[in-house]
């Protein structure tokens, strides 16, 4: 069997173009928001609320995809929403409009996530899930290398012209939409008799899900509850004295490490186990956050962002591959959508909490709290939760 199929390639390019558009804006987003009057607390709330909107929709649309037997329409609509949201951010600078535009972007992610990951799961076997999900993450994250690189090049010639970047970001998003029309639903996914889906699909699935799924997801969500937006890492780099150009540069470096590492780490995960790989990733995350909380040295920050890239490569795709291996194939989109939905809600709380801790106590305390909490979650996975069937 050919591991990386035509469908995986197309979906990976769709994700690459979309991430190029999103990540072109991501490193300059906190800088842009501060220039139009957003405080650090409001930035944290914005990121958290946007992720929560996506979260509340992921379980619902994942269930709808499973029930309808369709995947591709959800993928197309979701990526279209995300593409349209980019120029909207530049139209007006009113907080309510910014919240609306950011929400449209995340809502698109909510529509497509479960269906997209179900397609990836269907294109793999239990023994190749790490490889397939890792390859997709590598391609997706290459967009996070190209996007900020283009932003850095543009800002070199047009310093602080942030608004124009939001318009430029629409074009790779448009390429993603066009590429999505090359995808086709396969006939091996049949609609269920009950095609309706409740807005409480995530909660309903949680009650009926396998016990192993719940054990794994409880640990993943506990981690998400302390894993705030990467915006705070960029703000820490800026606070440590790095220029806007260097902040974007270090973010590109992190994503390059992530992109280069996700595919080989995915292959490794298929050999040593998805759980072991994820635990290694969590260990690196704890080191990064404890380091961020205790150092402002530029060279140390670069080293920490390198480790952060390896952490992301060892956890992002691996978590979804793990979930898809411990749930019924007919419920793949619902299972991943439910996890991703609850994860988004936890991220909302994490980002809001991080913003408040930073505001009240400072940056160092924010990172130290997260680092210590991650060590406790590591103990859950290693000792308390006796999780079987890693693959």
Give residue-wise pLDDT tens across range 356-382: 888 888 888 888 998 999 999 999 988
Please tell me the predicted confidence (pLDDT) of residue 243.
78
Of the listed ranges 185-194, 203-212, 275-284, 337-346, the least confidently predicted one is 185-194
Contact 183, 10 (CB under 8 A): yes
- Gap between the Cα atoms of 91 and 167, Å rounded: 9
Please tell me the predicted confidence (pLDDT) of residue 350.
85
- Gap between the Cα atoms of 101 and 114, Å rounded: 22
Say what percent of the chain tops pLDDT 90. Answer: 24
- Gap between the Cα atoms of 83 and 200, Å rounded: 27
Other residues' Cβ atoms within 10 Å of the Cβ of residue 10? 17
Other residues' Cβ atoms within 10 Å of the Cβ of residue 209? 19
What are the tens digits of pLDDT across the range 101-124? 888 888 888 889 888 988 988 888
Please tell me the predicted confidence (pLDDT) of residue 86.
85
* CA 205 to each of CA 116, 119, 328, 331, 335: distance values in angstroms, whole numbers, following the listed order: 19, 20, 12, 9, 7
Kindly indicate the confidence band of residue 208, based on its pLDDT and cuts at 50, 70 and 90.
confident
Nearest to 268 by CA among 139, 128, 378: 128
- Gap between the Cα atoms of 300 and 305, Å rounded: 9
Query: pLDDT at residue 161 above 90?
Result: no
Angle at 334 between CA 328 and CA 336, to 5 degrees: 85
Secondary structure tally for the chain: helices H, strands E: 17, 0
- Gap between the Cα atoms of 263 and 261, Å rounded: 6
More confident residue, 91 or 203: 91
Kindly indicate the confidence band of residue 196, based on its pLDDT and cuts at 50, 70 and 90.
low
- Gap between the Cα atoms of 77 and 93, Å rounded: 26
Please tell me the predicted confidence (pLDDT) of residue 300.
86
Kindly indicate the confidence band of residue 288, based on its pLDDT and cuts at 50, 70 and 90.
very high
Query: pLDDT at residue 23 above 70?
Result: yes
Kindly indicate the confidence band of residue 281, based on its pLDDT and cuts at 50, 70 and 90.
very high
What kind of fold does domain 8-181+208-384 have according to CATH?
Growth Hormone; Chain: A; (1.20.1250)
């Amino acid at each position: 069997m050919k591991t990386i199929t035509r469908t995986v390639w197309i979906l990976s390019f769709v994700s690459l173009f979309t991430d190029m558009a999103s990540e072109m804006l991501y490193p300059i987003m906190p800088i842009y928001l501060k220039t139009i009057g957003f405080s650090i607390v409001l930035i944290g709330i914005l990121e958290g609320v946007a992720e929560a909107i996506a979260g509340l929709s992921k379980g619902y649309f994942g269930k709808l995809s499973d029930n309808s037997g369709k995947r591709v329409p959800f993928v197309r609509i979701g990526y279209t929403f995300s593409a349209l949201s980019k120029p909207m951010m530049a139209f007006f600078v009113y907080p309510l409009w910014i919240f609306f535009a950011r929400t449209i972007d995340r809502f698109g992610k909510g529509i497509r996530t479960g269906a997209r990951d179900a397609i990836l799961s269907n294109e793999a076997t239990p023994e190749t899930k790490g490889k397939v999900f890792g390859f997709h993450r590598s391609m997706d994250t290459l967009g996070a290398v190209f996007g900020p690189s283009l932003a850095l090049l543009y800002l070199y010639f047009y310093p602080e012209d942030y608004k124009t970047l939001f318009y430029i970001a629409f074009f790779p998003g448009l390429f993603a939409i066009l590429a999505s029309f090359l995808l086709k639903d396969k006939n091996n996914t049949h609609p269920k008799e009950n095609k309706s889906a409740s807005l409480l699909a995530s909660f309903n699935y949680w009650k009926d899900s396998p016990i192993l799924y719940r054990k794994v997801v409880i640990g993943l969500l506990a981690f998400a509850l302390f894993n705030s937006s990467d915006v705070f890492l960029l703000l820490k780099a800026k606070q440590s004295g790095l220029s806007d150009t260097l902040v974007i540069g270090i973010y590109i470096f992190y994503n390059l490490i992530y992109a280069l590492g996700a595919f080989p780490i995915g292959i490794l995960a298929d050999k040593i186990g998805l759980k072991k790989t994820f635990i290694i990733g969590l260990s690196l995350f704890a080191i990064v956050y404890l380091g961020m909380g205790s150092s402002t040295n530029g060279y140390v920050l670069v080293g920490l962002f390198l480790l952060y890239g390896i952490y992301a490569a060892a956890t992002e795709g691996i978590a979804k591959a793990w979930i898809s291996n411990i749930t019924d194939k007919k419920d793949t989109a619902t299972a991943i959508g439910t996890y991703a939905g609850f994860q988004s809600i936890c991220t909302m709380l994490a980002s809001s909490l991080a913003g408040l801790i930073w505001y009240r106590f400072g940056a160092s305390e924010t990172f130290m709290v997260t680092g210590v909490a991650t060590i406790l979650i590591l103990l859950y996975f290693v000792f308390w939760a006796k999780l079987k069937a890693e693959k």
